[in-house]
Amino acid sequence: MKGREIHLASRPLGWPSEEDFCMAEVVVAEPQAGELLVRNQVMSVDPYMRGRMNEIPSYVPPFEIGRPLEGGAVGTVIESGSALFAPGDVVLHNAGWREYAVVAQDAATRVDPGLAPPSAYLGVLGMPGLTAYAGILDVAAMRPGEVVFVSAAAGAVGSAAGQIARLRGAARVVGSAGSPEKVAYLRGIGFDAAFDYHDGALRRSLRTAAPDGIDIYFDNVGGRQLEVAIGAMRPHGRVAMCGAISMYNADEPPAAPRNLALSMGKRLTLRGFLAGDFAHLRDQFIAEAAAWLREGELQYRETVAEGLQAAPRALLDMMRGHNLGKMLVRL
């Protein structure tokens, strides 16, 4: 049996292009003992993938030129060499960017399509949702009554972070996004205030949205928005540093933040984190988030590209903010 994969063709300088990817047809290996053969149904594209296109030291190895990229995917087991899984099981794994994947049994997680659509396990019930949950409740240690600001708030992580903060008792939740449509979406899912970061001065927009300052900043953007958030933070504020998408394609050092010295006088905490650090919270998160979904209190959106060949464009569109909610590719 043959299947198609997307390979990394070259390492980009600055913004990637579709020429940095190529399609390949390969023979699909037979699963051995302890392995599963999975037909992927839907795959994820995520901001961290841009960093893996560079050959630099990081918390995860870079993609290899001439080899398939990797990322979250959900699919159906069509052949099993494991007593733990049977054909027909729906599983979550990290061998996306291909139609068929041979996955070790300990690298696959069975998911319940009766609880939520399979795609939700790549978004609101998956790594983005857990990132939001851990970032708000553990890293930032939000307490009821605090004011929370989320950047890139219309994305998969940001929209979940803002809603989780509200559901856990935040006094006010503010989000920034990149278009009037996204601002309207944030207001529709319960953000108390939202603004388009393209409109006017960022400092003024945040002051209008949170006139008494903020206690927590959930940072998906870095750069100028981080600088403005530091200026708006109250004493003992916390920054959950999830991402810095404004700088991922930069070929020069960022100009901001220029006010990190304020963190001393304000006694701020700025803490970077990875979702993988919080695997121990996954069961708790799934139980709580699934209940919110059933009750209609936690909402999510998906932007879906069709076909494996659309994956490179989907990644580039996501980097440019063309998605609303989670960006996915349906295979």
**Residue ranges covered by each domain of the chain:** 2-123+301-330, 129-276
CATH number of 129-276: 3.40.50.720
**Phi and psi based region of residue 141 (left: phi greater than 0; alpha: psi -120 to 50; beta: remaining):** left
Residue 34 DSSP label: T
Residue 167: alpha-carbon gap to chain centroid: 20
Residue 158 and residue 175 in contact, taking contact as beta carbons nearer than 8 Å: yes
| CATH topology identical between 2-123+301-330 and 129-276 | no
Q: Assign domain 2-123+301-330 to a CATH class.
A: alpha beta
Smallest CA-to-CA distance from 233 within 201, 200, 253, 257 is with 257
* Tens-place pLDDT, residues 170-229: 999 999 999 999 999 999 999 999 999 998 799 999 999 999 999 999 999 999 999 999
Only one residue has tokens 């903010």, namely 321
Smallest CA-to-CA distance from 122 within 295, 271, 318 is with 318
Task: Report the DSSP beta bridge partners of residue 183.
Answer: none
**pTM, entire model:** 0.94
Within the chain, where are the H helices? 48-52, 127-134, 156-167, 180-188, 202-209, 223-232, 262-265, 282-294, 311-319
Q: Note the pLDDT of residue 328.
A: 98
Give pLDDT tens digits along the chain (331 positions): 999 999 999 999 999 999 999 999 999 999 999 999 999 999 999 999 999 999 988 888 999 999 999 999 999 999 999 999 999 999 999 999 999 999 999 999 999 999 999 999 999 999 999 999 999 999 999 999 999 999 999 999 999 999 999 999 999 999 999 999 999 999 999 999 999 999 879 999 999 999 999 999 999 999 999 999 999 999 999 999 999 988 888 767 777 799 999 999 999 999 999 999 999 999 999 999 999 999 999 999 999 999 999 999 999 999 999 999 999 999 9
Environment class of 304 (CB within 10 Å of its CB; exposed 0-12, middle 13-18, buried 19+): middle
